[in-house]
Amino acid sequence: MAQFTMSANDTAAGTLKIPADELPYYGRFEGAQFELFLALGEEYEAISGDPQRNSSLITEFEVVDVRQSEENIEMSLEAIDGEQSIVNLTLQKEQLPESISAEDEAWYLGVSLDYDEGETPTDIIPDAVELFDRYVEGPSGDYDSD
């Protein structure tokens, strides 16, 4: 499972967990950095990232399960096209766009992950052939990224 942490005002504002085999093969290694864009609701209001840069790469999800605490909302999501595994998103309620209510029954989420080679430390980037071989063989473990 790959884990992405979103922050607002230098504090953790949410976490996205997605199966590692859903990442592009060239970013499937521990420490790889990604630009993350998340948008929520029928109008896909941005909650993290820049929608202009990533708009063509968005995968749309519908929420299949919602769990709430006083401060957080945890969602299990399934890709609308049915091609991806279920992903999990945890958000602080204050991160929800104003037009979205924590009590809404229908939720939609757009997610875009764009590998950011410029922000990834060069000393941790595996050889390109090694990365491709990992892709062909399939994921062999969990990868974490911020």
Sheet strands (E) in the chain = 2-8, 11-18, 34-40, 45-48, 59-68, 72-79, 87-92, 108-115
Confidence of residue 146 (pLDDT cuts 50, 70, 90): very low
Mind listing the pLDDT tens digit for each residue in 12-61?
668 888 887 777 777 888 888 888 888 777 677 777 777 655 555 567 77
CA distance 25 to 135: 5
Confidence of residue 105 (pLDDT cuts 50, 70, 90): low
Q: What is the end-to-end Cα distance of the chain in Å, rounded?
A: 13
Element (H, E) at 52: helix 51-54
pLDDT given at position 143: 47
Residue type, 140: S
Per-domain residue ranges for the chain?
Answer: 2-137
Predicted TM-score (pTM) of the model is 0.69
Place of tokens 């967990």: 17
Burial of 127 (0-12, 13-18, 19+ CB in 10 A): exposed
